[in-house]
């Protein structure tokens, strides 16, 4: 059994924390809203009144918050992770943030006596609930090995991809691929509907061929049903595409399709749909097509 602190009990963080409890770890959670802490406690975890309280006895600290400034806010300062965690603790940042920020914070964590890993995840809310997330991990190989039991409790495909910041770079690539796939799936469904095709049958056969993908499996029915209850919010994908386009520019890499989809996602968010699942990008396709 390992003492684990989870900071951020949102759509992804809470099911991850619950799966850690199920795996036999002692889990203490902190979140800005009390109801999420209560849900963790109901599943056998423990709630904390502050970040400092959550991490003081932790062997492993997981942060799962929305953006780079949020990670900085929870790890720095007198009440943050770095100032209150015990020496030698593993710090696993499962958030999706800028690679350069991940590198800088890893350096600060090591200076504070911690062992940092950037370990963003992919698989959405259902993947977090089922404990089958894909986890791309940056950091020292020895620290990755030390965290294996923790990763095994929440993920299925777990790969060490390089030094600090590498996990975030791979996650940015993941978000680029997913966004373009969602956009083109939405375009395909709009095309099928315009011709009155049996869309359920069409997605079934498309899913069995080269056009098949996890995006089609998980998002196709949501588009057909116009059900955009959030598993991963458009506002967060908008943030991630900002990371991708900025990092690509710095590396002199052209991403014409990614840039176009980033603008479509931005437009959808700016129209007030940032709280929808990222499959809600389909609404933008329909609007551009003159439909509903």
Task: Supply the pLDDT for residue 231.
Answer: 86
Instruction: Map out the domains of the chain as residue ranges.
Output: 3-162, 170-288
Mean pLDDT of the chain: 97
Enzyme catalytic residues: 171
Q: Percent of the chain, pLDDT > 90?
A: 97
Q: Is 101 left (phi over 0), alpha (psi -120 to 50) or beta?
A: alpha
Task: Supply the pLDDT for residue 291.
Answer: 78
Distance CA 278, CA 268 (A): 10
Distance CA 156, CA 144 (A): 15
Distance CA 104, CA 201 (A): 49
E-only strand ranges, the chain: 3-7, 26-30, 46-47, 60-63, 90-93, 115-118, 121-122, 133-139, 155-162
Whether 149 has a pLDDT exceeding 70, the answer reads yes
- Is residue 280 within 8 Å of residue 228, measured between CB atoms? yes
Question: pLDDT digit string (tens) for 159-216?
Answer: 999 999 999 999 999 999 999 999 999 999 999 999 999 999 999 999 999 999 999 9
What's the gap between Cα 60 and its chain centre? 19
DSSP string, 118-156: E--EESHHHHHHHT-EEEEEEE-HHHHHHTHHHHHHHEE
* Domain 3-162, CATH: 3.40.50.720
- Of 1.10.3210.10, 3.40.640.10, 1.10.1040.10, 3.30.9.10, the CATH number of 170-288 is 1.10.1040.10
Task: Supply the pLDDT for residue 254.
Answer: 98
| Pick from 50-54, 68-72, 212-216, 229-233: least confident | 229-233
Please state the pTM of the whole predicted model. 0.92
Task: Supply the pLDDT for residue 198.
Answer: 98
Task: Supply the pLDDT for residue 292.
Answer: 61
Both structure tokens of 68: 């780079």
Both structure tokens of 115: 């062992």
């Amino acid at each position: 059994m390992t003492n684990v602190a989870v900071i951020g009990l949102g759509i992804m963080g809470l099911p991850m924390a619950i799966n850690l409890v199920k795996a036999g770890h002692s889990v203490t959670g902190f979140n800005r809203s009390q109801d999420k802490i209560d849900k963790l406690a109901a599943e056998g975890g423990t709630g904390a009144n502050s970040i400092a309280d959550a991490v003081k006895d932790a062997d492993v600290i997981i942060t799962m918050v929305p953006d780079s400034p949020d990670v900085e806010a929870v790890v720095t300062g007198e009440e943050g992770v770095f100032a209150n965690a015990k020496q030698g603790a593993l710090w696993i940042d499962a958030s999706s943030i800028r690679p350069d920020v991940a590198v800088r914070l890893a350096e600060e964590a090591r200076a504070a006596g911690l062992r940092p890993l950037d370990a963003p995840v992919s698989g959405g809310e259902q993947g977090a609930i089922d404990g089958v997330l894909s986890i791309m991990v940056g950091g020292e190989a020895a620290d990755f090995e030390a965290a294996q039991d923790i990763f095994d409790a929440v993920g299925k495909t777990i790969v060490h991809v390089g030094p600090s910041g590498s996990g975030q770079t791979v996650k940015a690539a993941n978000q680029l691929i997913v966004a373009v796939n969602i956009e083109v799936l939405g375009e395909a469904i709009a095309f099928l509907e315009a011709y009155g095709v049996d869309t359920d049958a069409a997605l079934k056969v498309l899913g069995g061929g080269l056009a098949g993908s996890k995006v089609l499996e998980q998002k196709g029915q949501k588009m057909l049903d116009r059900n955009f209850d959030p598993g991963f919010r458009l506002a967060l994908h908008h943030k991630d595409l900002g990371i991708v386009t900025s990092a690509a520019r710095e590396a002199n890499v052209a991403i014409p399709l990614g840039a176009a989809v980033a603008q479509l996602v931005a437009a959808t968010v700016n129209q007030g749909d940032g709280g929808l699942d990222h499959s809600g990008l389909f609404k933008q396709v329909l609007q551009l097509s003159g439909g509903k």
